[in-house]
């Protein structure tokens, strides 16, 4: 079993020392969130809370995740890094491919792309992106990523992206897994065709339902026998008995929620370190 620590909404200058703390505490990897900006007036509704309120404010820091990951990689030796989730449809896939390949080289291959379509319409509007077609753009963008990461001259002629033969170096030093976040039918179908799925605030019942659906979708696609990551952030206090039941259902990794959820905004580096260590003592050391 693998364990991840979410460092979303963390102060940027604390990320490198906290990555070291996560590695020392036995975590497999850390997640960062992604928003280009937070609207001063947010009308879009967060899909994972009862009232549609997001777990951040305009004052919350959202550092560019791949730049931050490159920095954290230099301060660690075995820790993995990913995003939960990276809003890939906000960028051209050639930019995404370049960022991930660079992070792969600088981390020694310790990166995965956790991608999603996003929910903040205002981000798409300001950046001149089509919110309605973001799912189709992500699907085609993933196709572009896999082409570019093979190295050499590649070309693409699709519905959203079109370019002649070109090369983008450096190429990744190891295969980059692509995991998809979200619980809509479209997100699950997308995840089933890729390397894994990332949940967001899952009850044991909802996680089990998703795993059953993913298994059926992968069977339909002829992929059931292929390796697949199922990464769950279970709600509530850590419960080893529940975790073991979910492992039997197909979960391959669990996520510890961001320290900001427990400690609130503006907490000290030492307080975050203590929270990370306490979760590790409760779960990782006893699992």
The rounded average pLDDT for each run of 10 residues, N- to C-terminus, in the chain (287 residues) is 98 98 98 98 94 95 98 98 98 98 98 98 98 98 98 98 98 98 96 97 95 98 96 94 97 97 95 98 97
Residue 10 to residue 69: CA distance in whole angstroms:
13
Residue-level pLDDT at 159: 97
Residue-level pLDDT at 177: 98
Look up the pTM and report it: 0.97
Residue-level pLDDT at 100: 98
Residue-level pLDDT at 124: 98
Residue 187 to residue 206: CA distance in whole angstroms:
15
Residue-level pLDDT at 87: 98
What are the residue boundaries of the structural domains of the chain, listed by start? Answer: 2-286
User: Taking CA 7 as the corner, what is the angle to CA 14 and CA 278, rounded to the nearest 5 degrees?
Assistant: 90
Q: Per the structure block, which two tokens stand in for 63? A: 């550092």
Residue-level pLDDT at 67: 98
Residue-level pLDDT at 123: 98
Which of 73, 70, 83, 85 has the alpha carbon at shortest distance from 23?
A: 73
What kind and span of H or E run contains 32? strand 29-32
Write down the architecture of domain 2-286 according to CATH.
Alpha-Beta Barrel (3.20)
């Amino acid at each position: 079993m693998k364990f991840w620590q979410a460092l979303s909404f963390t102060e940027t200058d604390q990320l490198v020392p906290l990555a070291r703390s996560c590695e020392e505490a036995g975590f497999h990897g850390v997640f960062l969130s992604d928003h280009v900006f937070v609207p001063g007036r947010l009308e879009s509704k967060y899909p994972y809370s009862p009232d549609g309120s997001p777990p951040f404010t305009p004052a919350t820091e959202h550092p560019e995740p791949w730049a931050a990951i490159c920095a954290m990689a230099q301060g660690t030796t075995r820790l993995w890094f990913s995003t939960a989730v990276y809003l890939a449809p906000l960028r051209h896939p050639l930019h995404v491919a370049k960022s991930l390949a660079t992070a792969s080289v600088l981390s020694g291959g310790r990166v995965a792309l956790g991608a999603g379509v996003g929910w903040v319409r205002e981000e798409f509007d300001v950046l001149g992106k089509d919110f309605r077609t973001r799912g189709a753009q992500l699907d085609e963008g993933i196709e572009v990523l896999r082409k570019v990461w093979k190295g050499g001259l590649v070309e693409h002629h699709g519905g959203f992206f079109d370019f002649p033969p070109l090369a983008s170096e450096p190429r990744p030093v190891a295969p980059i897994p692509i995991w998809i976040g979200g619980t809509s039918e479209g997100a699950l179908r997308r995840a089933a065709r890729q390397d894994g799925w990332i949940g967001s605030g899952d009850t044991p019942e909802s996680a089990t339902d998703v795993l059953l659906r993913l298994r059926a979708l992968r069977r339909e696609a002829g992929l059931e026998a292929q390796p697949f990551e199922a990464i769950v952030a279970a709600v509530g206090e850590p419960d080893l008995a529940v975790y073991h039941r979910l492992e039997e259902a197909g979960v391959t990794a669990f996520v510890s929620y961001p320290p900001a959820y427990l400690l609130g905004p503006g907490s000290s580096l030492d307080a975050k370190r203590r929270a990370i260590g306490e979760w590790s003592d409760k779960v990782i050391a006893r699992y």
